[in-house]
Amino acid sequence: MPRRKRHRLVTKEPHVSVYKPAGIPTRELEEILITIGEFEALRLADFEGLSQRDASTAMEISQPTFNRVLSSARHKVASGLVQGYVLRIEGGEYRLSDGTGILECLDCGASVDMSSGNKSTCQKCGSIRLRWLRWEKGRRPGEK
């Protein structure tokens, strides 16, 4: 495999993964969004066993930022398991390190700006059911 320029945040291409409790219709379940960045932090620290210093270097973010992302990821996974939520791991254009990126609320349709600080709930209705609006080179998918 040719040597490639390191991605800014993650080592794998974005994809969608959903984990849900068995035997319950998805529509009856709450959903928690775990960003690709959070997933990567969890993978590096808790699966690969990297130190936070090495993991933050790998993701090219500061150690305090990595620590925050990892804490958020752990909290979301724990919340999901304890409360029986759907865990959606989803990314597209994700730039946690500079705070940009847009999420859409599945309940009220509001856009949630990732730079707002509160990245896991809708500012309008308080819902945690957020979905990435995928941006590709500044455009919404489907737009020409």
Residue 112 interacts with Zn ion (CB under 5 A): yes or no: no
Residue 106 interacts with Zn ion (CB under 5 A): yes or no: no
Instruction: Give the 3-state secondary structure of residue 86.
Output: strand
Give the shortest CB-142-to-Zn ion separation in angstroms. Answer: 22
Residue 125 interacts with Zn ion (CB under 5 A): yes or no: yes
Q: Which two tokens stand for residue 115?
A: 């730079």
Give the shortest CB-106-to-Zn ion separation in angstroms. Answer: 8
> In the range 9-28, which residues lie near Zn ion by CB under 5 A?
none
Nearer to Zn ion, 44 or 112 (CB): 112
Say how far apart CA 18 and CA 87 lie, in whole Å: 6
Alpha helices in 11-113 (DSSP H): 36-42, 52-58, 63-83
Residue 123 interacts with Zn ion (CB under 5 A): yes or no: no
Query: What is the phi-psi region of residue 117: left when phi exceeds 0, alpha when psi lies from -120 to 50, beta otherwise?
Result: left
Taking a C-beta distance cutoff of 8 angstroms, is the pair 130, 105 a contact? yes
Burial pattern 85-95, b for ≥16 Cβ within 10 A else e, equals bbbbbbbbbbe
Say how far apart CA 62 and CA 66 lie, in whole Å: 6
Nearer to Zn ion, 98 or 107 (CB): 107
With CB under 5 A as the contact rule, the residue among 108, 111, 115, 139 that binds Zn ion is 108
Each residue 66-105 as x (binds Zn ion by CB under 5 A) or -, in order, gives: ---------------------------------------x
With CB under 5 A as the contact rule, the residue among 60, 98, 107, 136 that binds Zn ion is 107
Residues near Zn ion (CB under 5 A): 105, 107-108, 110, 122, 124-125, 127
